[in-house]
Structure 1
């Protein structure tokens, strides 16, 4: 049975959890609470010297990057082909997005959450509005490109069916929700895409995001 080490406040961890649930891959979740430093224990460091989640262990085979984990699971296990297509051109479209993701969607959405939620919580300081405006501008540029380069007039980022690319992207773009900010609210094209992703994965979406929703409620209660 696959073991995964996850903290569901982490965007890539949620993507892995959703795929495991949707594809019904037998697995066991080992929760790693980053805020408690559980990613820095000697046991965890032996598995991943980078001290990051997610980590997957499959019959003593250890894998430590979310994109690699998603593609490994979709390739090894008997999951519907649409998650990571075998046909070369369709697979290349997924690889194209996931390569772009790491320097665009991931850092830009994460930075908004860090500035609005994590840094104020850790330091007790107010949100740095100058840095936040800059981060939102960078994120808006990324959202423009998601619409024009990837989504275009197709239902999902890489074609007619949901893929691991959609999971990575949606989990990042949900992260600012933890601070009460819906970065897609003024973008009908991306809102429709999000609805299609949610419909495609069903209850797995809200289960994976329950921790993030709890953060949002905590932030609301402090206002």
Structure 2
């Protein structure tokens, strides 16, 4: 939220001036999914993260292709609407607006359970993969905004528990500390240019 990605120094890493971005020697890379796959291949991570098995890898790719405008899109929309919109307008969030973005998220959560999770321990089968990691990271955005989407979804809650245990609960909590404290966010903690960007984005919806 400091706006460091808007500097000329950061432009050398990512001309789009967005995070995340990676610099590996003289090589630079943008987009979170591309970065994850690059790191998995470069450091030869355990096979379950991005399986060598053709069909298991296809399941991971399938989810990563779907999630951008679904889990990620609807989850971040709820987060931005519930946390940032009241900061930008100085007004309480209209209940009907919150209901609308919550329903959009609920639709894709149902699709996630029925299509991708089904009755499997993890998205690609019996072992955790990058797909599970990406999915849970995005689902923690609404949780950080105060919407506990796991509360009345036992299948989703059990999947979350398995992912947390596979990653390590302490590491999981540390990684999500910032987002889980988002409800305490105040406007003075956000760079002015970011506030303007979000204001334009949210008020036109």
Q: TM-score if structure 1 supplies the norm length?
A: 0.79
- Match of 1:46? 12
Q: Contact between 1:177 and 1:216, CA under 8 Å: does it hold in 2?
A: no
Q: Aligned with 1:126: secondary structure?
A: coil
Q: Does 1:199 align with 2:196?
A: no
Residue in structure 2 matching 1:115, options 62, 70, 81:
81
State the superposition RMSD in angstroms.
1.4
**Deviation at 1:177?**
2.0
Q: What is the match of residue 196 of structure 2? A: none
In the TM superposition, what is the alpha-carbon distance from 1:119 to its structure 2 partner?
A: 1.5
Number of aligned residue pairs: give it.
Answer: 185
Alignment equivalent of 1:136, drawn from 98, 102, 106 = 102
Task: Give runs of ≥4 in structure 1 deviating > 4 Å.
Answer: none
The correspondence of residues 19-168 of structure 1 with structure 2, limited to 5 A, is 35-168=1-134
Contiguous gaps of at least 5 residues in structure 1: 1-34
Unaligned regions of 5+ residues in structure 2, if any?
187-205
Counterpart-to-counterpart distance in 1, 2:74 and 2:45: 31
SS in 1 for 2:181: helix
How far apart are residue 217 of structure 1 and its match? 5.1
